[in-house]
Structure 1
C-alpha cells in the first residue's frame, strides 16, 4: 500500500517519534485498555494524562518528564478526564461520577482539595479558552462550572432519556460557548447542539447507511457552521454540516451526510478506530490495515481529503488501544506499553504549487472539487429543506422578491450546504447578483457579498465578474478577502488591485474597515511613542561598524525614528499590499502587467517591500510576527519582479536611486554575514571529520581557534 500510494509534493509526512512515558496495567493495547483521556495542560508544551483508574499526571512534552501527579485515594475511581481551567490554571476532575474536585499545581494531596458532590452523574468537562469550563452530564444537561458551583446540588434535567452519550466537544463562537454531543440509541445516532448563553438546544438525527455504525466523531466550527465528521464501520468518513443560526424550531431534524473520504486504496482497506482533523485538507486515522491474503497490521495514517489519497503511514507492530490525540503538531497514542509521540507536518496542496507561486500555507483556498460539467446558467432553482423553492434570475427573480427576504432565505440555504455541487450553485448565485449590479448601478449588496465570500469556499472561476465590479465600486475590503481566499485570480486582476491600492490615499483608507491582522504585530509605531534607540543592529552586526557606512543624513534619520526604516504606508494600505503578496501568480503572465505600473507607485511599492525585507532580517527566524504575514520568499520574489519590470526607470528617478543604494548595501551586508556563517559551518564539518578519524579511546583536550 505504501509503495502504491500517490504523493503530491510531499504534502504530509510523519517525522520523528519518541516515548513520553510508560503505561501502567490496564492502559496498554486493546480496545478495553487505553487511557481515559489526554487533555491540553496550562502551557502549550504540557499535556494532562488521565488513566483508567485513580491517577492524573501533568507532562512536559519536550522534556519527556512529569511535572506533577495526583491520585484519588484507594477505593475511588476518576470517572471524568482531568482538565485545566485555562483562565485560573486550576485542575478539575470528577471521581465516582458525582464528586467534583478542584486543585492547583501546589496542592499535593488530592483528597484535601476542594470537593463538591453533584446531584447527577457527569459525562465530561470541557475547558474553553475564554468561556471557562463547561460540564456535560450523562443525561444531557449542561452547566458552566461557575453556575454549578453556586449550587452543587441543583437539579439537572434529563434530556436524552434512554440514549447514551458517545462523544462531546465544546467551542467558543463569537464569545459564546457552544457544546455539541453525539448519542446512540438502537443503532441510530443523534447530535445535540447547545448554546449556553441563549439556553438554545437543537437535536438532529444523522443520516446513516444500512449495516454501518458510527465509530468515532470529531468536529470543528467556522463561520457559524459546525462541521461534524463521523468515522463509520463501513470504512468511510462522512461529513455533516450543522448551522448555528437556526430559524426553524423543529423537534428533530435529519442531517444529510456527504462522503468525505473512503479509507481504501489499491485493494487495501483501513479499518479505522479513531481519527483527528489536522487541517482543512488532512485527517489522521488510527486503525488496522487489511489486505487480501495478508495479516492485518495496525498503523497510523494521514489522508488528503481534497485529493482522496493516502499521504503517509506508520506501522505499529506492538499494537494500540485504538485512541489518538493531536496537540501542537504532535500525535499521542499508546503503542504497546508506552505512550508514543509522533511529530508530523502538513503542507498546502494545490495546483498553484506546480504552475506558479503558491499562496501562503496559512491562507485558505478552495477545499472541494467542482464539477464544471454541472454548472448551469444564471437561472437557478434552489430547493429549500422546508420544501419551498426560490427561483433566482438575474432580473425577474430578484426584482419580484424582496431583497431582504431573498438574502435571508439564501443565508438559510448556504448554512445547510448539502446540495450537490454546492460551490457551483453559490457561484451561480453570486454571478446572478453581480449581473444585476451591472444592470442597476444603484444596487450593490456589499455586506451580503462580503458574507458569501468569507463563509463559502469560492474561487475566481466560479464568479469571474465579482472582483471586476468590486474594483469599479472601490470595495477594498471585498477585494482584500478575495485576494486572500481565491486561489486562481488572473494576473491581470491582481495587477489591477495592486494599482488601485497604491493609488488610493492613506487618508481615504483610514475611513475603511479592513482586516489588519497581517500587519498589526510588526508595523512601526515610533511616530506615536517617540521611542529612541541608540544602536542599530542587523543580523547581529552594528551598521555603524560596516565598511560602507551610510550617509550622515541617513544615519541621523535612523537615530531619530528608532529603526532602520519606517513604514512608507499606513496600516490599511499595508494590509492590502500584504494580500497582494499572498496571491498566487505566474511570473510569465504577471511581469508584462507590472511594466505598466506608474513610476511613482512602483517606487512606493518597492519602498514597502524593502521595509518588509529589513523587518524580516532583524531576527534570525526571518519571519514576521502576527497572523499570516508575508513570508521572506514572497517579499524577495516581488522585489525581483518589480526590479525586473522597472529597473531602467528606477535608475533614472532621483528618489529611487537612494532606495536602490540602501537595498544594495543591505543585501551585500547580509551576503557577507551568511558567507561568514558558511565558513563557520565548513570549519565545524572539518572538525567533525577529523574527530571521526581519531582513536576513540584516546583522551585529549584541544583548543580550536577560528580565524
Structure 2
C-alpha cells in the first residue's frame, strides 16, 4: 500500500522558463538544492519551506546543468556556459570570487552521491572523476559516442563499492543505452528495440541491485517497459539489441503522451507523472503511484495547474514543478503483499500456531463429495500400484458420505436444539472425519437461515461452539454476524471478531457502535470473555490504592516536563490521572472494545463507516483509547499484560483514525477539550523523550564511526568519553 501526503509549496518558479533544471540532495536530511533554468542555485530546508542560501552567476552567464553537492568536501558544484566549472561553500556569497575552472569540452551533467567522488559527464560521452579533472582542466577529452548521437538522459547508480553510469542517446529516432563500469573501465552499449507503433520514449529511470541494472522506460503510447543489464558480462564491439518487457500499461485514451516522468519509489512501487484521460475527452495531468508487482493503482493526485513533465524523488518526497511553483509531496510505501492489499493482519501469537496443520482434500470435493475431509500434512509420495488400486474403493465411499452430509443439513432445519447439539458434537470435538471448512460453512448457513425464518429459534451456544472450531470465516457465512447484531448477542460477536480474519470494515464499525451504545445494565447478564482486560484493569485499581503515581522508565510521566500554556481549565488536575476513573468503561465493555482493536482492517475502507458514530460514542471510545495508551506507557515494554490485548501501535492507529473521521466534532465538543489537552500533553512528553533518545543514538553513532588510535600498549587502560 502506498499513500501520498498533503503537498506544500517549496518555492516559486521563473515564468516561462519551462521548469527548473533539476532538484538534487542538499547535503543533509531535509535539504534540497534547486537549480532554475536561468542563473540561480538555491538551497532549501524543505520542511520549513525557506532558503538557506542562494547563489547567482552574473548577468550574461547561464547555468547549463543542475548543481550538485559534494558529500566528501561539503562544497557545491555548478557549470555555467557549458564549460565553466564553479565550486563554492556555504559561506561564499559571490560566485565570481569562488574557484573557477574552464574545461576543454562541453559538460552535459554532474553526478554526486554520498561516499562517492562526483562525476562529470561530457556531451560526447566521456566521464571523469572531479579530482582528476581539476588536476588538469584543459586535458583532452575523448569522444565516446558517434558525432550524430545526442545524450538525452544520464543516471549514476551505486551499490556497495560498485559505481556505474547509465546514459541514453538518440540518433535518427533510434535510442541507445550505454552502461559505463569503473575499476575496471568497461563500456556496454545496446540498442533499444523500437516500438512497432513508432512511439518514442519520454522518461527513464534506473537502479542497481545484485550487479544488475534495471532500466525502466515510459513511452508516448502510455506503456512502461523494464530492461535488465547484467554487469558480469564483458564489453563487445557488436551492436546488441536490449530486450524489454512490458511492465505497466497506463489507462489508454486516444491522446498520445507528449511529456511524462517516471520515478522508482521502492522495489514494488513507481511514481508516474503524466496526463490522464477524463470523461470530457480532455486530459488532466496527474501524479500516480503504481504497484508494479500486482499491477494496481495505489493512489493518485491531480495537478490542475499543469506541470513541466519533470519529477524528482529524494528521501520520501516527490518534487514536481506545478504551474508557477515547485511543490513537495511526501509519500509512504508499505511492503507489497497480498495481505497488505486486503488489510492489516492480526498479530498471531506463537502459542496459537499449530504444530500440525490441516489441509483440504479437494479431490473428494471435486469427485462429488459434499464435504472436504481434512488431512494431516505429510510428505508428498508418488502413486504406487497399490494406491491406484485403492483409489477406486475410496471413490465408492464418497456417495454414502455425501448422503450423510445432506441428511445432517436436512435435520438441522427441523430438529430441536438438543438434537442439533448432539449431531454436531463430532464437529465440536474436532474429530478428523467432520472437521472441515465447507462443512462448517454449510451448517452455519443452515442454522442462520432457520434463525431468520423462525424468530424464536436462536441456538447461541451452538453458533459459539461452531465459531470456536476455527473452521468458520465471515465469507463462509456472511449472515451470521448480521443475525448476532440483530439479536445484540455480544458474546457471539466477540468470538467472531477474535476468530474471523476477513470481516468487512462496515461490519466491524457496526459491532463497535453496538458495543459503545450498550449500557452496563444490559451487559451485566452477558457472557463476555474478559481475559484480555482482567490483568491490567485489576492491577490498575490495586496500584491506585497502594501506590502514588510515579515517574516511569520509558519516558512517559504523569507529571509533564513543561507546563502547558493552554487557557482551558480542566475539572481535574491536568498533570495527574485520576486512577479511580482511569478506565471509562467496565471490564466487559473493555473486553468487547479490545476485540474491535485487534481485528483486521484497511484504513481506506474503515474511515467512511467510522463516521457514523455519534459524538458521545466517539468521546467514550477516545477516553478508552487514552486509558490504554497510558497503561501501555507505564510499562517499559509498552505492552499490556494478558492475551488478545491490543498493541500500542494498534491503539495509536485507531486513535488517529477516530480523530480523522470526527475531527470537527471532537474539536467543537466542549466535553472533549480536556481529553484533547491530555492527549496533547502525553504525545508531547513522548516526543520529548524520543528526541532525547535520538540525541543519544547520534552520539553513540559518532563514537562507533570514530577511529581511535591506541595510545597505550599496556594490558589495561581507562578512556573517558564525554557526551555533550
For residue 225 of structure 1, what is the aligned residue in structure 2?
A: 212
Aligned-residue Cα RMSD (Å) equals: 4.2
Q: More displaced, 167-176 or 243-252? A: 243-252
- In 2: Cα distance, 1:623 partner to 1:143 partner: 54
1:105 lines up with 2:90 in the alignment: yes
For residue 284 of structure 1, what is the aligned residue in structure 2?
A: 271
The change in CA–CA distance for 1:241 and 1:21 in structure 2 (over 3 A counts) is same
For residue 352 of structure 2, what is the aligned residue in structure 1?
A: none
For residue 249 of structure 2, what is the aligned residue in structure 1?
A: 262
Equivalent in 183, 204, 207 of residue 197 of structure 1: 183
The change in CA–CA distance for 1:111 and 1:335 in structure 2 (over 3 A counts) is same
Say if 1:270 and 1:290, in contact at 8 Å, map to a contact too.
Answer: no
- In 1: Cα distance, 2:126 partner to 2:681 partner: 71
* Deviation readout 1:579-620 (Å, 9 max, x if unpaired): xxxxxxx99xxxxxxxxxxxxxxxxxxxxxxxxxxxxx9998
* Deviation readout 1:554-583 (Å, 9 max, x if unpaired): xxxxxxxxxxxxxxxxxxxxxxxxxxxxxx
1:322 lines up with 2:309 in the alignment: yes
The change in CA–CA distance for 1:24 and 1:692 in structure 2 (over 3 A counts) is farther
Equivalent in 37, 42, 45 of residue 30 of structure 2: 45
- In 1: Cα distance, 2:346 partner to 2:61 partner: 56
The change in CA–CA distance for 1:64 and 1:356 in structure 2 (over 3 A counts) is closer
Say if 2:187 and 2:235, in contact at 8 Å, map to a contact too.
Answer: no
- In 2: Cα distance, 1:227 partner to 1:258 partner: 11
The change in CA–CA distance for 1:619 and 1:95 in structure 2 (over 3 A counts) is farther
* Deviation readout 1:339-379 (Å, 9 max, x if unpaired): 1111222223322344995999xxxxxxxxxxxxxxxxxxx
For residue 300 of structure 1, what is the aligned residue in structure 2?
A: 287
For the residue of structure 2 that corresponds to 1:92, the secondary structure is: strand
Using the TM superposition, give the Cα deviation of residue 158 of structure 1 relative to its aligned residue in structure 2, in angstroms.
0.3
Q: TM-score, normalised by structure 1?
A: 0.50
- In 1: Cα distance, 2:87 partner to 2:95 partner: 9
Using the TM superposition, give the Cα deviation of residue 300 of structure 1 relative to its aligned residue in structure 2, in angstroms.
1.3
For the residue of structure 2 that corresponds to 1:300, the secondary structure is: strand
Say if 2:33 and 2:42, in contact at 8 Å, map to a contact too.
Answer: yes
Say if 1:264 and 1:270, in contact at 8 Å, map to a contact too.
Answer: no
1:21 lines up with 2:37 in the alignment: no
Equivalent in 41, 49, 62 of residue 64 of structure 1: 49
- In 1: Cα distance, 2:281 partner to 2:220 partner: 20
Say if 2:31 and 2:45, in contact at 8 Å, map to a contact too.
Answer: yes
The change in CA–CA distance for 1:152 and 1:347 in structure 2 (over 3 A counts) is same
1:336 lines up with 2:323 in the alignment: yes
Using the TM superposition, give the Cα deviation of residue 291 of structure 1 relative to its aligned residue in structure 2, in angstroms.
4.2
For residue 89 of structure 1, what is the aligned residue in structure 2?
A: 74
Using the TM superposition, give the Cα deviation of residue 128 of structure 1 relative to its aligned residue in structure 2, in angstroms.
1.7
For residue 187 of structure 1, what is the aligned residue in structure 2?
A: 173
1:348 lines up with 2:345 in the alignment: no
1:469-548 aligned at under 5 Å gives the runs 537-540=553-556
- In 2: Cα distance, 1:346 partner to 1:152 partner: 44
1:85-164 aligned at under 5 Å gives the runs 85-161=70-146, 162-164=148-150
The change in CA–CA distance for 1:252 and 1:268 in structure 2 (over 3 A counts) is closer
Say if 1:215 and 1:233, in contact at 8 Å, map to a contact too.
Answer: yes
Equivalent in 155, 168, 174 of residue 154 of structure 2: 168
- In 1: Cα distance, 2:142 partner to 2:631 partner: 58
Equivalent in 299, 312, 332 of residue 312 of structure 1: 299
For the residue of structure 1 that corresponds to 2:134, the secondary structure is: helix
1:514-593 aligned at under 5 Å gives the runs 537-540=553-556
Using the TM superposition, give the Cα deviation of residue 334 of structure 1 relative to its aligned residue in structure 2, in angstroms.
1.4
For the residue of structure 2 that corresponds to 1:339, the secondary structure is: strand
Say if 2:188 and 2:234, in contact at 8 Å, map to a contact too.
Answer: no
- In 1: Cα distance, 2:123 partner to 2:116 partner: 21
- In 2: Cα distance, 1:312 partner to 1:166 partner: 30
Say if 2:320 and 2:326, in contact at 8 Å, map to a contact too.
Answer: yes
- In 1: Cα distance, 2:179 partner to 2:331 partner: 32
For the residue of structure 2 that corresponds to 1:332, the secondary structure is: strand
* Deviation readout 1:394-440 (Å, 9 max, x if unpaired): xxxxxxxxxxxxxxxxxxxxxxxxxxxxxxxxxxxxxxxxxxxxxxx
- In 2: Cα distance, 1:623 partner to 1:215 partner: 54
- In 1: Cα distance, 2:632 partner to 2:20 partner: 42
Using the TM superposition, give the Cα deviation of residue 167 of structure 1 relative to its aligned residue in structure 2, in angstroms.
0.5
Say if 2:24 and 2:33, in contact at 8 Å, map to a contact too.
Answer: yes
The change in CA–CA distance for 1:265 and 1:348 in structure 2 (over 3 A counts) is farther
Using the TM superposition, give the Cα deviation of residue 241 of structure 1 relative to its aligned residue in structure 2, in angstroms.
0.1
The change in CA–CA distance for 1:263 and 1:687 in structure 2 (over 3 A counts) is closer
The change in CA–CA distance for 1:623 and 1:323 in structure 2 (over 3 A counts) is farther
- In 1: Cα distance, 2:666 partner to 2:271 partner: 42
The change in CA–CA distance for 1:359 and 1:692 in structure 2 (over 3 A counts) is closer
Using the TM superposition, give the Cα deviation of residue 274 of structure 1 relative to its aligned residue in structure 2, in angstroms.
0.9
Provide the aligned length of Structure 1 versus Structure 2: 393
Say if 2:220 and 2:256, in contact at 8 Å, map to a contact too.
Answer: no
- In 2: Cα distance, 1:686 partner to 1:351 partner: 35
- In 2: Cα distance, 1:686 partner to 1:318 partner: 34
Say if 1:235 and 1:272, in contact at 8 Å, map to a contact too.
Answer: no
Specify which structure has the bigger relative contact order, considering alpha-carbon pairs within 8 angstroms and separated by 6 or more residues: 1
Using the TM superposition, give the Cα deviation of residue 189 of structure 1 relative to its aligned residue in structure 2, in angstroms.
0.8
The change in CA–CA distance for 1:157 and 1:687 in structure 2 (over 3 A counts) is closer
For the residue of structure 2 that corresponds to 1:146, the secondary structure is: helix
For the residue of structure 2 that corresponds to 1:538, the secondary structure is: coil
* Deviation readout 1:488-532 (Å, 9 max, x if unpaired): xxxxxxxxxxxxxxxxxxxxxxxxxxxxxxxxxxxxxxxxxxxxx
The change in CA–CA distance for 1:705 and 1:258 in structure 2 (over 3 A counts) is closer
The gaps in structure 1 that reach 5 residues or longer are: 1-10, 28-32, 361-534, 543-585, 588-616, 625-631, 645-663, 694-703
Q: TM-score, normalised by structure 2?
A: 0.49
For the residue of structure 2 that corresponds to 1:322, the secondary structure is: strand
1:55 lines up with 2:45 in the alignment: no
The change in CA–CA distance for 1:150 and 1:301 in structure 2 (over 3 A counts) is same
Say if 2:275 and 2:285, in contact at 8 Å, map to a contact too.
Answer: yes
The gaps in structure 2 that reach 5 residues or longer are: 349-550, 559-598, 601-629, 674-679, 683-724
* Deviation readout 1:76-103 (Å, 9 max, x if unpaired): 1001210001121100000010000000
Using the TM superposition, give the Cα deviation of residue 293 of structure 1 relative to its aligned residue in structure 2, in angstroms.
4.8
For the residue of structure 2 that corresponds to 1:264, the secondary structure is: coil
Say if 1:58 and 1:67, in contact at 8 Å, map to a contact too.
Answer: yes
Say if 2:554 and 2:636, in contact at 8 Å, map to a contact too.
Answer: no
- In 2: Cα distance, 1:340 partner to 1:283 partner: 19
- In 1: Cα distance, 2:137 partner to 2:636 partner: 49
- In 1: Cα distance, 2:347 partner to 2:132 partner: 46
1:240-255 aligned at under 5 Å gives the runs 240-247=227-234, 249-255=236-242
Using the TM superposition, give the Cα deviation of residue 208 of structure 1 relative to its aligned residue in structure 2, in angstroms.
2.1
Say if 1:230 and 1:238, in contact at 8 Å, map to a contact too.
Answer: yes
For the residue of structure 1 that corresponds to 2:87, the secondary structure is: strand
For the residue of structure 2 that corresponds to 1:537, the secondary structure is: coil
1:275 lines up with 2:262 in the alignment: yes
